[in-house]
Amino acid sequence: MHAIIPPYLLARLAASDQPHVARAAAAARQTLAAPRVYAPVRASLDLSVEGDALVLEASPAPDRVISDAQNREDLPGVRVRGEDDGATGDAAVDEAFDGLGATFALYWDAYRRSSIDGAGGTLEATVHYGEDYDNAFWNGERMVFGDGDGEVFTGFTRSVSVIGHELTHGVVEHSGGLQYVGQSGALNESLADVFGALTEQHLRGQTAAEASWLIGAGIFTDAVQGEALRSMSAPGTAYDDDVLGTDPQPAHMRDYVHTSADNGGVHINSGIPNKAFHLVATALGGPAWERAGRIWYLTMTGGTLSDTADFAAFAAATHAVAVGEYGEGSEEADAVHAAWIGVGVIEDAAPR
Active site residues: 166, 267
Q: How far apart are CA 296 and CA 308, in angstroms?
A: 17
- The answer to whether the beta carbons of residues 331 and 260 sit under 8 Å apart is no
Q: How far apart are CA 352 and CA 350, in angstroms?
A: 6
User: Which residues sit opposite 54 in a β-bridge?
Assistant: 49
Q: Please choose, from the candidates 94, 93, 98, 102, the residue with its C-alpha nearest in 3D space to the C-alpha of residue 204.
A: 102
- The answer to whether the beta carbons of residues 2 and 270 sit under 8 Å apart is no
**HSE value, Cβ hemisphere, 13 Å, CA-based, for 151:** 19
CA 27 to the chain's CA centroid: 23
A 10 A CB-CB count for 29 gives 16
Q: Please choose, from the candidates 126, 115, 120, the residue with its C-alpha nearest in 3D space to the C-alpha of residue 170.
A: 115
SS3 226: strand
Q: How far apart are CA 187 and CA 200, in angstroms?
A: 20
Dihedral angle of Cα 123, 129, 134, 136, to the nearest 10 degrees: -10
- The answer to whether the beta carbons of residues 301 and 112 sit under 8 Å apart is no
Q: How far apart are CA 280 and CA 336, in angstroms?
A: 6
Distances in Å between the alpha carbon of 8 and those of 14, 245, 265?
10, 10, 9
> Looking at this protein, which amino acid is placed at residue 259?
T
- The answer to whether the beta carbons of residues 185 and 264 sit under 8 Å apart is yes
